[in-house]
């Protein structure tokens, strides 16, 4: 049963709806009450003026259904397969109709800790794309937090 969030995608899964909205907005590059929210980040990403704002990514933090803990993704770049990295923050690359999502790990290049223990420990000031992507079943998540839109490239 969906919870009614997300604008145009009625998948029956709230997190899936929001991630679809983000993915669509990031590809395409209202007035809101919250200073920080998924809707605000999407709106900032799209910009409401003719001047491009340089933003290209809405970083997301996902929470697993079981125990409602923050989800951490792991991966290694093919040029350095022996050096695994993890992240709690992701860029949505795509979301399929059955709610499988391709997420790219976002990391601050100045963060020397390859495996932070929680999202608060991970540096977020200069999040950048890593080229490390994972595929997840969005139906396994119960909550999504969006950070303000950034330029991650």
pTM for the whole structure: 0.77
Residue 46 domain flag: yes
Residue 6 domain flag: no
Residue 84 domain flag: yes
Q: Residue 5, class by beta-carbon neighbours within 10 Å (0-12 exposed, 13-18 middle, 19+ buried)?
A: middle
> Which range of residues forms the domain containing residue 94?
14-146
Closest among 72, 88, 65 to 142, alpha carbons compared: 65
Residue 47 domain flag: yes
Match 């809405």 to its residue by tokens. 58
For β-strands 85-87 and 100-107, DSSP reports them as unpaired
Q: Is the pLDDT of residue 98 over 50?
A: yes
Q: Is the pLDDT of residue 134 over 60?
A: yes
Residue 152 domain flag: no
Residue 7 domain flag: no
pLDDT at 77: 84
Q: Is the pLDDT of residue 7 over 50?
A: no
Residue 104 domain flag: yes
Domain count, the chain: 1
pLDDT digits (tens, 9 = 90+) for 19-78: 888 888 877 763 434 566 677 778 778 876 445 678 899 999 999 988 789 999 999 988
Residue 9 domain flag: no
Match 């007035």 to its residue by tokens. 31
């Amino acid at each position: 049963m969906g919870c009614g969030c997300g604008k145009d995608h009625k998948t029956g899964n709230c997190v899936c709806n929001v991630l679809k909205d983000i993915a669509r907005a990031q590809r395409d590059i209202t007035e809101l009450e919250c200073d920080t929210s998924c809707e605000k980040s999407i709106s900032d990403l799209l910009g409401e003026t003719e001047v491009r704002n340089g933003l290209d990514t809405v970083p997301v933090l996902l929470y697993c259904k079981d125990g409602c803990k923050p989800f951490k993704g792991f991966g290694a770049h093919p040029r350095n397969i022996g050096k695994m990295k993890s992240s709690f923050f992701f860029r949505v690359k795509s979301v399929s109709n059955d709610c499988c999502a391709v997420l790219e790990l976002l990391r601050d290049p100045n963060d020397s800790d390859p495996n932070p223990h929680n999202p608060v420990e991970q540096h977020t000031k200069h999040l950048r794309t890593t080229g490390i992507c994972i595929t997840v079943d969005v139906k396994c998540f119960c909550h999504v937090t969006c950070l303000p839109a950034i330029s991650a490239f």
